[in-house]
Amino acid sequence: MSHSAAPIEMGQGPGAARHLRQAATFVAPLVVLFLCWPLLVSAFGVDARVFPGVKAVFAAAVESVSDGSLLAHVAASLGRVAAGTLLAVVVAVPLGVAMGVNAGVSAFLTPLFRFFSVLAGIAWIPIATLWFGYGFGAITFVIFNAVFFIVAYNTLLGVTAIPMRLRHAAASLGASRLAMVTEVLLPGALPNIVTGIRTGLGFAWRGLIAAEMIATNVGLGYMLFVARDFYRTEVIVLGMIVIGILWLLIDRLILAPLERATIERWGVVQRA
């Protein structure tokens, strides 16, 4: 679909400048922290086995990039998150829609889904390793649960928040049950679904790192955990930096804009 620029949209120039300013405000404190780090380490004479210097971390970065190990860990972690999330969304969205159309079912399931949403990933790790052993199954299960309950709950919420008059309007225009789902319920719930995915992925990412520390032999969590055994604080800190930056990139560059776009486009103002 192509649209002529709507009058309420802002021009390219001011929007881009605003984004740049926002990005700068976000990055500046991180840069300050980064600059203070070597000063603090040298001022207090911190031992490398307690906390590494910048040079050591940089060297560890160069080494793990050139021998391909960092890429392997990152790829393993991202792959697991993608697989678990995809699976969870594919199951949660249809389920959430199905539950949302029935008031009784949704009233019954809403508290359950809220309860399981609170468990958010990490709490599932012990039982996951009991059920699936150490490996792909347990980790995927943890990610799946982190995303599944939150997305199902949000989908349910989104569907029940669609004004009844919109469903009535579609029905009186001849919408079948399937069309009601694809033309009204799914698009109507989409902003909530995207919010659910964003929140769920946040928990999944944390849960993943934790699960990788005990249940596997590759991945960013595993990288941290093994480095600890060898007092390689520079590798630990490198891993922490990568974990944080990867999530910020995923969240800021993909999820947040996606969420904003659906909410703006879908005109939530209309619901008031």
Partner 1 sequence: MKSLTLRNLHKTYFDPAVGTRVTAIQDVSLEIGPGEFVAVVGPAGCGKSTILNMVAGFLPATRGDIIVGDRPVKGPGRDRGVVFQNFALLPWKTVIDNVGFGLKMRGIAKPERDRIAMEFLELAGLSHAAERYPNELSGGMQQRAGVVRALANEPDVLLMDEPFASVDAQTRMTLQEELMRIWGERRHTVLFITHDVGEAVFLADRVVVLSKGHVLREIPITIPRPRG
Minimum CB distance to partner 1 smaller for 77 or for 160 = 160
How far is residue 252's CA from residue 25's CA, in Å, rounded to a whole number?
13
- How near is the Cβ of 171 to partner 1 at its closest, in Å? 4
Residue 160 C-beta: closest distance to partner 1, Å:
17
Least CB distance from residue 90 to partner 1, whole Å? 22
Q: Which is nearer to partner 1, 37 or 266 (CB)?
A: 266
Residues in touch with partner 1 (CB under 8 A): 3-4, 6-8, 163, 165-166, 168-176, 179, 183-184, 187-188, 190, 265-271
User: For residues 143 and 85, is the Cβ–Cβ distance under 8 A?
Assistant: yes
Which residue blocks in the chain are alpha helix, DSSP H?
12-43, 54-66, 69-100, 103-119, 125-132, 136-161, 164-172, 177-179, 186-215, 220-229, 233-249, 256-265
Q: Of 49 and 165, which has the nearer Cβ to partner 1?
A: 165
Query: Angle between the 54-66 and 69-100 helix axes, to the nearest 10 degrees?
Result: 80
Please state, in angstroms and rounded to a whole number, the distance separating the CA atoms of residues 230 and 223.
Answer: 11
Nearer to partner 1 among residue 155 and residue 233 (C-beta):
155
The nearer residue to partner 1, 88 or 159, going by C-beta atoms, is: 159
Smallest separation (angstroms) from partner 1 to the CB of 35: 46
| Least distance between partner 1 and beta carbon 100 (Å) | 17
Q: Is the dihedral of CA 28, 29, 31, 35 positive or negative?
A: positive
